[in-house]
Amino acid sequence: MQGPVDKPTGPVEVEASKTGKVVGIAIIAALGGFLFGYDSAVINGANQAVFHEFNLTNTTVQGFVVAVALLGSAVGALVGGRLANSMGRRKVMLLSAILFLIAGVGQAIPFSTADFVVWRILGGFAIGLAAVICPMYISEVAPAHLRGRLSSLFQMAIVLGIFSTQLVNQLLLGIAGGPTEFPPAAPGEQPMVQANNEFWFGLQTWQWMFLCMVIPSVIYFFLAATLPESPRYLVSKGRNADAKAVLQKIFVGDVQPKLDTIEASLDAEHKPSFKDIRGTKFGLQGIVWVGIILAVFQQFVGINAVFYYSNIVFQAVGFTTEDAFLQSTIISAVNVIFTLVAIALIDRVGRKPLLLIGSCGMFITLGILSMLFITAPKATEATASGAIAVGDPLLSSTNGWIAVIALNVYVMFFAATWGPIVWVLLGEMFSNKIRAMAMSVGVMANWIANFIVSETFPTLVKISIGLAYGIFTLCAFLSIFYVWKFVKETKGAELEDMEAVEGIKS
């Protein structure tokens, strides 16, 4: 996996390009990330209502119904590269928009638990496709000096999609009205929640949470239909004239030299396959392993799981269970703001320095949270209340505020570094010949890691929340050394020069 020592890149060459045009193209492509965020987060507001609707009382079944979408995402990522090479980048974006729409309607109007699970898998499959195709497409159309910022729009769209889900869910609950408290459920039955209240056309509120996904799906489909195809894909299919026309929409001046460089990096007669990424490092090329491990670390630093128990931190400083939406809004706002910081810095500071800064920051803040949880007294039946269960740590007011600050600073570091930069690197670090297939494997690894964290975290928490956070702290620590040793700086490099940057011999 190790390549040569990073070579100084010098000043980044600013290519004469039609900035407004390429920014518009990147924004449209990034809308796939909005649907990614919306579809992955909408279940958080609807899950308890779904459990009541189908009387799902077994916690293992409940966890599977929620997490099964992650497996669908892994499958979507695995086949995404092959589809991108056979159908083209734009058609795969259109396909993902259609699948998001179908999954939204299916999850909104299921007949049983079984078909709800099918629609969850389909929605996850669409997320997997989007996670591969959107960063890939943006990296292939963006000028080198803008590629980091434009590719980071994908992560920005994800966090905006997650925030929009929270906002839409809260608005629907407010508009629907109805009771907020219900009689205790009978033994063996799942209790009702507010989202089970009836809303428009006889549907319950939770069903409209999923139906609202239809709107961005339709918008994304029609906007994606206006996008030009990736010039790299067109050259790979021998459609050089079409590729030149696309390049002329993006760059100013003679684009023939760029077209020649792209053509030289590709073999139009070669049919891409997973054989292209095979190598001597445990069956894969070293650079593919670099992408896989980066993708796994992005999940193993615990960004999703950390949010699960943020309620304990907030309750320690006076937030109530009813303030859950405010808590989520605070974290989402931090996430959005510091993703903007990443967009501002990524093409100036570079990918590798920001990842190192992020790893160090997350290691320190996760370490603080771990120590606070490990040393805190545990709740008993007499002291448990609200969202704090027996055995959960009880933070004092002072330690609670320290934890709130540490939690938000942790989110700042992740949002400004590992959140967007891993997607940027996966979209640009591979050569033209293997990009689609290598991205598929890397993104699939990301979703499998997400599934592992989601499934094991509740068990770890039963043992000790401090232990769970301690594992994330260890992963953040290890990521420092991994990035330092194996990740190469790709700032300002052309996609056609990635083999040289990564030290790969042709």
Q: What domains can you pick out in the chain, each with its CATH number?
A: 17-227 (1.20.1250.20), 272-506 (1.20.1250.20)
**pLDDT tens per residue across span 182-197:** 888 888 889 998 999 9
Confidence at residue 506, expressed as pLDDT on a 0 to 100 scale = 46
Confidence at residue 328, expressed as pLDDT on a 0 to 100 scale = 76
- Above pLDDT 90, what percent of the chain? 62
Contact (Cβ atoms closer than 8 angstroms) between residue 305 and residue 468: yes
Three-state secondary structure of 153-183:
HHHHHHHHHHHHHHHHHHHHHHHHCCCCCCC
Confidence at residue 358, expressed as pLDDT on a 0 to 100 scale = 98
And the tokens for 162?
């997650």
**pLDDT tens per residue across span 219-261:** 999 999 999 999 999 999 999 999 999 999 999 989 999 999 9
H or E element, residue 447: helix 435-463
Tokens 């591979």: give the residue.
430
Predicted model pTM? 0.89
Confidence at residue 381, expressed as pLDDT on a 0 to 100 scale = 74
Q: What is the mean pLDDT of residues 109-122?
A: 96
pLDDT at 366 over 90: yes
**pLDDT tens per residue across span 446-487:** 999 999 998 888 888 878 888 999 999 999 999 999 999 999
Residue closest to 161 by CA, chosen among 330, 331, 39: 39
**pLDDT tens per residue across span 94-104:** 999 999 999 99
Single-letter amino acid, residue 96: S
And the tokens for 350?
């570079």
Query: Where residue 8 falls among pLDDT bands split at 50, 70, 90?
Result: very low
Please tell me which residue, 134 or 308, carries the higher pLDDT value. 134
Please tell me which residue, 440 or 309, carries the higher pLDDT value. 440
3-state secondary structure of 59: helix
CB atoms within 10 A of CB 336: 15
Q: What is the DSSP string of 175-235?
A: HH---S--PPPPTTSPPP-GGGSB-GGG-BHHHHHHHTTHHHHHHHHHHHTTSPPPHHHHH
3-state secondary structure of 257: helix
3-state secondary structure of 284: strand
Strand partners of residue 393: 378
Please tell me which residue, 4 or 228, carries the higher pLDDT value. 228
Q: What is the mean pLDDT of residues 271-278?
A: 78
CA 297 to chain centre: 13
Please tell me which residue, 295 or 327, carries the higher pLDDT value. 295
3-state secondary structure of 43: helix
Contact (Cβ atoms closer than 8 angstroms) between residue 425 and residue 490: yes
CA 156 to chain centre: 10
